[in-house]
Amino acid sequence: MNFKEFLKNNIVYLDGGMGTLLQSEGLAPGEHPERWNITHPDVITKIHKDYFDAGSNVVCTNTFGANSLKFDDNELENIVMAAIFNAKNAARQSASKSEKFIALDIGPSGKLLKPLGDLDFEDAVSVFAKTVSLGVKYGADLIIIETMNDSYETKAALLAAKENSDLPVIVSNAYGEDGKLMTGASPAAMVALLEGMGIDALGANCSLGPRQLRGVALELIENASVPVILKPNAGLPKSVDGKTVFDVTANDFADEVAALIKKGVRVVGGCCGTTPEYIKALTDKTNDYSPVPLSDKNLTVVSSYTHAVKFGDSPILIGERINPTGKKRFKQALIENDIDYILTEGVNQQEKGVHILDVNVGLPDIDEVQTLKTAVCELQAIINLPLQIDTADITAMETALRRYNGKAMINSVNGKADNMAAVFPLVKKYGGLVVALTLDESGIPETADGRFQIAEKILATAREYGIDKKDIIFDTLAMTISAETHAALATLESLRKIKTELGCHTSLGVSNVSFGLPNRDAINGTFFALALENGLSAAIMNPYSSEIRKTYYTYKALKGLDENCADYIRNTDSFTIAPTASTTPAAKKTAEEYSSELQHAVVKGFKEKAGEITKALLSTIPPLEIVNNEIIPALNTVGIGFEKKTVYLPQLLMSAEAAKSAFEVIKSSMAGSENKSSKGTFIIATVYGDIHDIGKNIVKLLLENYGFNVVDLGKDVPPETVVQKVIKLHAPLVGLSALMTTTVPAMEETIKLIKAKAPWCKTVVGGAVLTQDYADKIGADKYAHDAMETVRYAEEIMSGGNAK
Amino acid sequence: MNSVILNKTYPAPPFCEKEILRYAGCKSTDNETHKLLADCINEAQDKLTYKVCYRELPVTVKGDICDFGTFKAQSQSLSKNLENCDCVILFGATVGVGIDRLIAKYGRISPARALMLQAIGAERIEALCDAFCEDIQNTLGIGLKPRFSPGYGDLPLDTQKDIFALLDCSKRIGLTLNSSLLMSPSKSVTAVIGLTNKKENATTNKCALCDKKDCTFRGAL
Which three-class secondary structure string do you get for A201-231?
EEEEECCCCCCCCHHHHHHHHHHCCCCEEEE
Answer for the pair A86, A62: CB distance below 8 angstroms, yes or no: yes
Q: Is B182 within 8 Å of A653 when comparing Cβ atoms?
A: no
* Nearest CB to B105 within list A244, A382, A656: A382
Closest Cα partner for A413 from A394, A431, A430, A400?
A394
Largest Cα–Cα distance in chain A?
93
Instruction: Kindly compute the dihedral angle of the four CA atoms of residues B159, B128, A239, B78, in this order, to the nearest 10 degrees.
Output: 30
Judge if A610 and A654 occupy the same domain: yes
- Contact of B178 with chain A, judged by CB distance below 8 Å, is answered with yes
- How many Cα atoms sit within 13 Å of A477 on the Cβ side? 23
- Write the secondary structure of A219-283 as one string of H (helix), E (strand) and C (coil): HHHHHCCCCEEEECCCCCEEEECCEEEECCCHHHHHHHHHHHHHHCEEEECCCCCCCHHHHHHHH
Which residues of chain A have a CB within 8 Å of the CB of B1?
242
- Count CB-CB contacts under 10 A for residue A593: 10
Flag whether B53 is in a domain.
Answer: yes
**CA-to-CA dists, residue A164 to A80, A131, A367, angstroms:** 16, 10, 30
Rg of chain A on CA atoms, in Å:
30
Flag whether A585 is in a domain.
Answer: no
Q: Is B4 within 8 Å of A117 when comparing Cβ atoms?
A: no
For the stretch A130-140, pLDDT in tens is 999 999 999 99
Flag whether A784 is in a domain.
Answer: yes
CB < 8 Å from A in window 28-67 of B: 28-30, 32-33, 36, 49, 55
Closest Cα partner for B81 from B210, B213, B214?
B210
Answer for the pair A703, A790: CB distance below 8 angstroms, yes or no: yes
Q: A657 to chain B nearest CA, in Å?
A: 7
Interval A271-299 mean pLDDT: 96
Q: Is B6 within 8 Å of A110 when comparing Cβ atoms?
A: no
Answer for the pair B13, B131: CB distance below 8 angstroms, yes or no: yes
- Please give the full DSSP string across A341-399, using - where no structure is assigned: HHHHHHHHHHHTT-SEEEE----TTS-HHHHHHHHHHHHHHH--S-EEEE-S-HHHHHH
Judge if A470 and A395 occupy the same domain: yes
Which residues of chain B have a CB within 8 Å of the CB of A29?
3, 55, 70, 166
Judge if A703 and A641 occupy the same domain: no
* Cα separation, B64 vs B76, whole angstroms: 5
Flag whether A294 is in a domain.
Answer: no
CATH number at residue A660: 1.10.1240.10
CATH number at residue A442: 3.20.20.20
Q: Vertex A178, ends A176 and A180: CA angle to 5°?
A: 60
The edge-to-edge listing of strands for the beta sheet with B65-67 is B60-62, B65-67, B72-74
Interval A289-301 mean pLDDT: 96
Interval B27-39 mean pLDDT: 89
Interval A330-347 mean pLDDT: 91
Q: Vertex A129, ends A125 and A132: CA angle to 5°?
A: 140
Structural domain ending residue among the three candidates A519, A541, A574 = A574
Residue B1 is predicted with a pLDDT of: 42
Residue B200 is predicted with a pLDDT of: 56
Flag whether B1 is in a domain.
Answer: no
* Cα separation, B219 vs B202, whole angstroms: 16
Judge if A467 and A606 occupy the same domain: no
Judge if A322 and A265 occupy the same domain: no
Q: What are phi and psi of A299, to 5 degrees?
A: -90, 130
Secondary structure element (H or E) that encloses residue B125, with its range: helix B111-140
Residue A576 is predicted with a pLDDT of: 74
* Res B2 pLDDT > 70: no
Which one-letter amino acid corresponds to residue A112? L
Q: B165 to chain A nearest CA, in Å?
A: 5
Residue A207's beta-bridge partner residues?
Answer: none
Flag whether A675 is in a domain.
Answer: no
Residue A238 is predicted with a pLDDT of: 84
Q: Sorting pLDDT into bands at 50, 70 and 90, what band is B201?
A: low
Residue B221 is predicted with a pLDDT of: 47
Answer for the pair A418, A440: CB distance below 8 angstroms, yes or no: no
**CA-to-CA dists, residue B149 to A411, A590, A738, angstroms:** 50, 50, 20
Say how many domains are in chain A: 4
User: For chain A, what is the mean pLDDT?
Assistant: 93
Structural domain ending residue among the three candidates A649, A670, A691 = A670
* Cα separation, A397 vs A389, whole angstroms: 7
- How many Cα atoms sit within 13 Å of A603 on the Cβ side? 20
Q: Sorting pLDDT into bands at 50, 70 and 90, what band is A623?
A: confident
Q: H helices within A465-512, ranges in order?
A: 487-497
* Cα separation, B193 vs B132, whole angstroms: 11
For the stretch A310-333, pLDDT in tens is 999 999 999 999 999 888 899 999
Helix A649-670 crosses helix A694-705 at what angle (to 10 degrees)?
50
Which residues of chain B have a CB within 8 Å of the CB of A604?
32
Interval A659-677 mean pLDDT: 78
Which residues, in sequence order, are CB contacts of B170 under 8 Å at separation 6+?
A108, A110, A111, A112, B164, B176
Judge if A348 and A246 occupy the same domain: no
* Cα separation, A15 vs A91, whole angstroms: 12
Flag whether A589 is in a domain.
Answer: no
Residue range of the domain that includes B90:
6-206
Judge if A635 and A753 occupy the same domain: no
Judge if A305 and A282 occupy the same domain: no
Q: B109 to chain A nearest CA, in Å?
A: 6
The sign of the torsion formed by the CA atoms of A280, A281, A282, A283 equals positive
CB < 8 Å from A in window 86-105 of B: 96-98, 100-101, 103-105
ipTM value, please give it. 0.91
Interval A610-634 mean pLDDT: 91
Flag whether A584 is in a domain.
Answer: no
Residue A584 is predicted with a pLDDT of: 45
Number of residues written out for chain B? 221
**CA-to-CA dists, residue A776 to A578, A735, A736, A764, A791, angstroms:** 59, 15, 14, 11, 20
Flag whether B215 is in a domain.
Answer: no
Judge if A56 and A157 occupy the same domain: yes
Flag whether A610 is in a domain.
Answer: yes
Interval A582-605 mean pLDDT: 67
* Cα separation, A133 vs A350, whole angstroms: 42
Judge if A370 and A494 occupy the same domain: yes
Residue of B nearest to A383 (CA): B105
User: For chain B, what is the mean pLDDT?
Assistant: 89
The edge-to-edge listing of strands for the beta sheet with A681-686 is A709-712, A681-686, A733-737, A762-766, A782-783
Answer for the pair A304, A38: CB distance below 8 angstroms, yes or no: no
Residue A646 is predicted with a pLDDT of: 87
For the stretch B133-145, pLDDT in tens is 999 999 988 899 9
For the stretch A183-224, pLDDT in tens is 999 999 999 999 999 999 999 999 899 999 999 999 999 999
Residue A588 is predicted with a pLDDT of: 44
**CA-to-CA dists, residue A677 to A250, A747, A798, angstroms:** 74, 31, 13
CATH number at residue B50: 3.40.109.40
Judge if A309 and A407 occupy the same domain: yes
Judge if A545 and A630 occupy the same domain: no
Closest Cα partner for A210 from A145, A262, A260, A263?
A260
Say how many domains are in chain B: 1
Which residues of chain B have a CB within 8 Å of the CB of A178?
49
Flag whether B73 is in a domain.
Answer: yes
* Res A803 pLDDT > 50: no
Interval A540-568 mean pLDDT: 94
Flag whether A226 is in a domain.
Answer: yes
Q: Sorting pLDDT into bands at 50, 70 and 90, what band is A254?
A: very high
Interval B26-46 mean pLDDT: 92
Residue of A nearest to B112 (CA): A653
Answer for the pair A696, A686: CB distance below 8 angstroms, yes or no: yes
Residue A589 is predicted with a pLDDT of: 42
- Residue B220 DSSP code: P
Closest Cα partner for A437 from A467, A461, A462, A458?
A458
Which residues, in sequence order, are CB contacts of B101 under 8 Å at separation 6+?
A116, A381, A382, B47
- Please give the full DSSP string across A60-121, using - where no structure is assigned: E-S-TT-STTTS-HHHHHHHHHHHHHHHHHHHHH----S--EEEEEE---SSPBTTTSSB-H
For the stretch A53-77, pLDDT in tens is 999 999 999 999 999 999 999 999 9
* Res B30 pLDDT > 90: no
Q: Note the pTM of the prediction, 2 decimals.
A: 0.91
Flag whether B221 is in a domain.
Answer: no
Flag whether B144 is in a domain.
Answer: yes
For the stretch A691-730, pLDDT in tens is 778 889 889 989 988 889 999 998 889 999 999 999 999 9
Closest Cα partner for A228 from A197, A195, A184?
A195
Flag whether B42 is in a domain.
Answer: yes
In chain A, % of residues over pLDDT 70: 97
Closest Cα partner for A303 from A386, A401, A219, A409?
A386
In chain A, % of residues over pLDDT 90: 79
Residue B216 is predicted with a pLDDT of: 66
Flag whether B47 is in a domain.
Answer: yes
Residue range of the domain that includes A478:
301-574
Residue B70 is predicted with a pLDDT of: 87
* Res A739 pLDDT > 90: no
Structural domain ending residue among the three candidates A227, A260, A286 = A286
Highest mean pLDDT among A20-29, A211-220, B137-146, B165-174: A211-220
